[in-house]
Homo-oligomer: A and B are copies of this chain.
Amino acid sequence: MSLIVTGSIGIDSVETPTRTAEQVLGGSAIYFAAGASFFTPVRLVAAVGDDFPESFLNTIKHFSVDLAGLEHRPGSKTFRWRGRYHENMNRRDTIEVELNVLGEAQPPVPSAYRDSKFVFLANTHPAAQLELLDQFPDRELAVADTMDLWIETERDALTTLLAQIDGLVLNNDEAEQLAGDANLIRAAETIASMGPKFVVVKKGEHGAFIVYQGEKAVLPAYPAREVVDPTGAGDAFAGGMMGQLATSPKLSLDRLRWAMAYGTIVASFNIESFSLDRMLQITRTDINRRFEAFRSMLQIAD
């Protein structure tokens, strides 16, 4: 089934306590698309400038991603971001950001993409997310991500968006901020009452949980001995989850948890390297193997 993602492509520089990666491929839509592509073909709507390296394009082509919606905008520059992680890798600071093409007009959605059934609106201005949403009249499942900036400055547009989407994926700080409640379970329930059928709260190394029609499910992260770079883990998680949901769209708590578990596994690979380096090495077989290990790790039997 057709899955589409709209979001950012970036040229990232990432500093961790032990290593640094300069000018590597990144961006929410890229991590999402790569993660989802293990499950289903992905359509990508995003824009880059004429500084976007040919080699990055080849990297994207490794994955099952349709690039008809990738706009090369002449005279513009690609979004750039530099981040620095703290010692324990749970926190990071943005050191530099150049919006570039992200500060300009949205890239057009190819008309061939209008029939997309599964829509993921990666983080951007909620008004832009709403505009994008309108271009997929046949959608069966629309899920969005957001960030602290929009919660603070664009609450009205975000509230309008929440009433029109099926699911919201956000991190724990954002959930707390959006609901004004330090209890994450109650916060997620409050957000669900604003419209979406389900709310997934991502907690990084502590896993994720979901509220769906008054029910809850919770998953730990896959235990990782080595975290090289957490950048994009949340997007890769959402990609794995949506990719799996797109193969079998009927919503239920079981189905959503099952999809979240695949998202968890995709994210666990993604953090093992900078950029998409680890995702480039693995296949669906690797994902399935770790998925089964994770599943049995959670089986409580005496």
Chain A residues proximal to chain B, CB less than 8 Å: 87-89, 176, 182-186, 189, 203, 205-207, 209, 216-221, 223-227, 248, 254-255, 257-258, 261, 294-295, 297-302
Q: Which of B220, B257, B302 contacts A255 (CB 8 A)?
A: B302
Determine the residue in chain B with the shortest Cβ distance to A227.
Answer: B183
Determine the residue in chain B with the shortest Cβ distance to A226.
Answer: B183
A300 partner residues in chain B, CB cutoff 8 A: 219, 257-258, 261, 294-295, 298
Q: Which of B183, B220, B248, B254 contacts A207 (CB 8 A)?
A: B220
Determine the residue in chain B with the shortest Cβ distance to A88.
Answer: B182
A263 → chain B closest CB, angstroms: 12
Beyond A219-B220, A219-B300, list 8 extra A-B contacts (CB 8 Å): A183-B225, A183-B226, A186-B225, A186-B226, A206-B220, A218-B220, A218-B223, A258-B302
Determine the residue in chain B with the shortest Cβ distance to A301.
Answer: B254
Q: How many copies does the complex hold?
A: 2
Q: Are A217 and B301 touching (Cβ within 8 A)?
A: no
Determine the residue in chain B with the shortest Cβ distance to A207.
Answer: B220
Q: Are B186 and A216 touching (Cβ within 8 A)?
A: no
Determine the residue in chain B with the shortest Cβ distance to A261.
Answer: B300
A187 → chain B closest CB, angstroms: 10
How far is A88 from B223 in the complex, measured between Cα atoms in Å?
A: 25
Q: Are A206 and B209 touching (Cβ within 8 A)?
A: no
A248 partner residues in chain B, CB cutoff 8 A: 302
How far is A88 from B184 in the complex, measured between Cα atoms in Å?
A: 9
Q: Which of B87, B89, B203, B227 contacts A206 (CB 8 A)?
A: B203
Q: Which of B182, B207, B217, B257 contacts A87 (CB 8 A)?
A: B182
With A206-B203, A254-B302, A302-B258 given, is the CB distance from A297 to B183 under 8 Å? no
Q: Which of B176, B189, B223 contacts A209 (CB 8 A)?
A: B223
A89 partner residues in chain B, CB cutoff 8 A: 182
A184 partner residues in chain B, CB cutoff 8 A: 205
A261 partner residues in chain B, CB cutoff 8 A: 300
How far is A90 from B168 in the complex, measured between Cα atoms in Å?
A: 25
A253 → chain B closest CB, angstroms: 9
Q: Are B185 and A224 touching (Cβ within 8 A)?
A: yes
Q: Are B223 and A216 touching (Cβ within 8 A)?
A: yes
A92 → chain B closest CB, angstroms: 14
Determine the residue in chain B with the shortest Cβ distance to A254.
Answer: B301
How far is A261 from B218 in the complex, measured between Cα atoms in Å?
A: 14
Q: Are A225 and B185 touching (Cβ within 8 A)?
A: yes
A298 partner residues in chain B, CB cutoff 8 A: 218-219, 298-300
A302 partner residues in chain B, CB cutoff 8 A: 248, 254-255, 258
How far is A295 from B206 in the complex, measured between Cα atoms in Å?
A: 18
A186 partner residues in chain B, CB cutoff 8 A: 225-226
A5 → chain B closest CB, angstroms: 22
Q: Which of B176, B189, B225, B297 contacts A218 (CB 8 A)?
A: B297
